[in-house]
């Protein structure tokens, strides 16, 4: 897979569609994941309001050997998290209703050892109230590449 950026927002819609088509392509079926012994694949929860970006992130996670569930909002994602067992959460910062920082604080209050990665198109210094209010373990700036996505997840899971 190439290192072209993941799209974030209307101005990148065509690039997002092209990346999604590549991820859905026949090469996806050829990917295999070797699991040995009693090792289990880490389970991710991806919360992203943009349908195409959410699907693309899920496909990237699956291609990287992870299990992934998705939600389109923090309100939708909270009960999924509370009723499941997840190894890592990726949450978009700028969503209507509950934002990614509030979601991360709620997750950390109940499950402080679960890594949370905030995804955003904003620079770190442009996050209202600052990144420190978010209780997150990592920040993934949009647009990001497949390699950046994988490296961030790998770092958080080790």
Name the pLDDT band for 69 (thresholds 50, 70, 90): very high
Check residues 129 and 111 and name the one with the higher pLDDT: 111
Counting residues of the chain whose pLDDT is more than 70, the rounded percentage is 72
**Whole-angstrom distance, CA of residue 64 vs CA of residue 38:** 19
- pLDDT score for 39: 67
Across the beta sheet with 88-92, the strand order is 67-71, 43-47, 88-92, 116-120, 138-141
- pLDDT score for 41: 93
Q: For each of the domains in the chain, give its residue range(s) and CATH number, in order of start.
A: 10-30+42-157 (3.40.50.2300)
- pLDDT score for 19: 58
Question: What integer best gives the mean pLDDT of the chain?
Answer: 82
Give the residues across from 139 on adjacent strands.
Answer: 118
Closest CA to 45 of 75, 16, 85: 85
Name the pLDDT band for 35 (thresholds 50, 70, 90): very low
* CB contact at 8 A, 13 and 6: no
- The CA R_g of the chain, rounded to the nearest whole Å, is 15
* Cis amide prior to 143 (ω within 30 degrees): yes
* CB contact at 8 A, 77 and 71: yes
Q: Averaged over 46-65, what is the pLDDT? A: 97
Q: Averaged over 11-34, what is the pLDDT? A: 49
Q: Averaged over 143-155, what is the pLDDT? A: 96
* Cis amide prior to 61 (ω within 30 degrees): no
**Whole-angstrom distance, CA of residue 49 vs CA of residue 158:** 28
List helix spans (H) across the chain: 13-24, 27-30, 51-63, 74-82, 100-110, 146-157
**Whole-angstrom distance, CA of residue 81 vs CA of residue 57:** 17
């Amino acid at each position: 897979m190439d290192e072209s950026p993941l799209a974030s927002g209307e101005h990148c819609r065509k690039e997002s569609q092209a990346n999604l088509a590549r991820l859905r392509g026949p090469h996806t079926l050829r990917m295999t994941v070797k699991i040995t012994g009693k090792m289990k694949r880490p389970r991710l929860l991806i919360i992203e309001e943009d349908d195409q970006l959410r699907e693309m992130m899920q496909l990237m996670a699956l291609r990287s050997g992870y299990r992934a569930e998705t939600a389109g909002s923090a309100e939708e994602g909270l009960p999924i998290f509370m009723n499941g067992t997840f190894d890592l959460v990726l949450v978009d910062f700028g969503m209507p209703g509950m934002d990614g920082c509030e979601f991360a604080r709620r997750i950390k209050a109940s499950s402080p050892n679960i890594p949370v990665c905030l995804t955003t198109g904003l620079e770190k210094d442009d996050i209202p109230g600052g990144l420190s209010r978010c209780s997150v373990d990592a920040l993934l700036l949009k647009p990001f590449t497949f390699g950046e996505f994988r490296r961030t997840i790998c770092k958080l899971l080790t």
